[in-house]
Chain A
Amino acid sequence: MLFPYYFGVPAIEKISSNLQNWTVVLLAFALAYGVLSMSIIHVRKISEKKDGWQYSVALLVSMFGIMITGFIPPLLSHRTFQWIFNSMQVRLSVAVYALLAPYIASAAYRAFRARSLDAMLMLVAAFFTMMMNAPIGGSLWQGFNVVGGWIYSTPNMAVQRGILIGIAVGTVAQGLRIFAGFERSHLGEERGEGGG
C-alpha cells in the first residue's frame, strides 16, 4: 500500500488495487460474521432461558425479518423492507439519539459551573459559540457571530490542529509497530508472545 503511493510502478499499483478490492470482499464477510456471532449468543440465551430471554426473541425476529425482506429481489427495494427501514429502524435510531437532549440541559444546569479559571474559559467559549450557532444570536448582537467565529477559527482551530498532529504522530508510530511485528494484539496475542 505504501510503495505504489510514493513510487508509481504500474505492476505494483495493480497488485495494490487487487488487494484493496479483495479486502473489501473480506470485510463484507466480517459484516455477516457479526450477525452470526450475535445470533449464537442470543439463541443460547433463549435456550437457557436466561434473564431477559424474551428480548432476545425480539432481537432475532427483527434481525431475520429485515434480512429476509432485504434479500427479496430487487435487493433493498421491497416495500416491506422499505416499511421496516423507514418506520422502525430510522425512527428508533433517531429517537435513541434524541434521548441525549434532556441530559445536555440537565448537565448545563448542574455541572457547568465557573469553579476555576479553566472552567470559566470553557464557559465563556461555550456561551459565545452557542449564541453564534443559534440563528437568534446574530440577530440579538452581531458581536456573538464575530467573537464566536474568532473562537472557532483561531484558538479552537489551533488546539485541534495540535491534537491532530499529536494523533498523527501516534498513528504513524503504531502503524510502524504493526508492520515491524511488535504489535500483534489484533491477532489475539499478548505483547511478547510468539518471539516478538
Chain B
Amino acid sequence: MDLYTTSGIWAGAILTLIVMSFLYKENPLFRLAEHIVVGLGAGYFAVWGMKNVNDIALTGVQRGDYSYFLPMLLGVLFFLRMSKKYSWLSRWSIAVIVGVSTGLFVRGTIDVQLIGQILAAGKSIASTDILQNVNNLLAAVLTVCTITYFIYTREQKGPLTVTSRIGRYGMMVAFGAIFGGTVVSRMATMIGVIQFLLFEWLGIR
C-alpha cells in the first residue's frame, strides 16, 4: 500500500480514536478534533458555494445571460448583514430567499402532505380481505385521534378526551417503533467505525 493511502488510513484511525476517547472523558484532544471537523465542514461548504456561483451565474453571464448580475448583486448585499449601518440592505436578499422558498414549500405541501395523505387515510374498508379492512379502519381512526390530540383551540373534554387519549396511546406505539429504528441507526454508525478500525487500519480479515 502506498504512502498516500497508508497515511490516510492512519490519520483517520487516530482521529477516530481521539473522538472515541470522549466516551471515557472529555479531553483537549477531543475538543481539537471537534474544532477540526467544524472547520472542515465550513470550508467545504464555501467551496461548493463558490462552485455554484461560478457554474451557474458566472457561466451564464459569459454566455450572454446578464440577468445573473441581479442575484450576484443580491448575494453581495447579503454580506452587508455584518454592517450596523447597511444591514437593512441584506433584507432584500433574505426576502427573495424566503419568498421563493415559502412559495415552493406551500404549493408542494398542499399536494403531498395534505391532499395526498388525507385521501390515503380514507382507504377502503369494504374489500374481501377482512384483516385489511380492520387494519384500514384502525389506521383511519388512529389518524383522526392523533389529530385531535393536537387540538388546542378547544378544551379537551367529553368525546375529545377519549379520542385524544387513543391518539396518545397510538403515539406511544409510534415512538416505540421510532426507538426500535434508533437502535439500528446508532449501532450502524458504530459498526462503521469498528469495520474501519478492524479491517482497514488493523488489516484483520
A residues near B (Cβ < 8 Å) are 1-2, 5-6, 18-38, 40, 52, 55-56, 58-67, 70-71, 75-76, 79, 83-104, 108, 112, 117-119, 121-130, 132-134, 148, 150-169, 171-172, 175-176, 178-179, 186-188
Contact = CB atoms under 8 A, between A and B. Distances in A.
A118 B168 contact: yes
Nearest to A62: B39
A34 B38 CA distance: 12
B100 A19 contact: yes
Interface of B: 4, 7-9, 11-13, 15-16, 19-20, 22-23, 31-53, 56-57, 67-68, 70-72, 74-76, 78-79, 81-82, 87, 91, 93-107, 109-110, 113-114, 117-118, 120-121, 135, 138-147, 149-150, 167-184, 186-187, 189-190, 192-193, 196
Contact of B109 (A29, A118, A168): A168
Contacts of A122: 172-173, 175-176, 179
Given A63-B42, A63-B43, A133 B184 contact: yes
Contacts of B39: 58-63, 66
Contacts of A175: 102-103, 105-106, 109
Given A63-B39, A121-B173, A171-B106, A97 B189 contact: yes
A6 B111 CA distance: 11
18 contacts: A19-B100, A20-B104, A29-B53, A29-B75, A29-B93, A85-B44, A93-B37, A94-B16, A94-B192, A99-B22, A100-B189, A118-B168, A122-B175, A125-B173, A158-B121, A158-B143, A162-B167, A178-B99
Contacts of B31: 52, 55
Contacts of A84: 40
Given A161-B117, A175-B102, A175-B106, 17 more contacts: A18-B67, A21-B56, A22-B96, A25-B56, A31-B46, A62-B35, A70-B43, A87-B7, A88-B15, A97-B189, A127-B180, A129-B176, A132-B180, A133-B184, A154-B139, A156-B173, A162-B146
Given A95-B19, A100-B186, A35 B45 contact: yes
B21 to A, nearest CB: 10
A87 B31 CA distance: 18
A162 B144 contact: yes
Contact of A23 (B51, B101, B105, B192): B101
Contacts of B171: 159
B25 to A, nearest CB: 13
Given A1-B104, A25-B53, A154-B138, A164 B113 contact: yes
B4 A79 contact: yes
Contact of B72 (A25, A31, A56, A65): A25
Nearest to A97: B189
A67 B11 contact: no
Nearest to A54: B32
B133 to A, nearest CB: 12
Given A2-B103, A22-B71, A163-B146, A101 B187 contact: yes
Contacts of A125: 172-177, 179-180
Contacts of B180: 125-130, 132-133, 148
A101 B147 CA distance: 33
Nearest to A3: B103
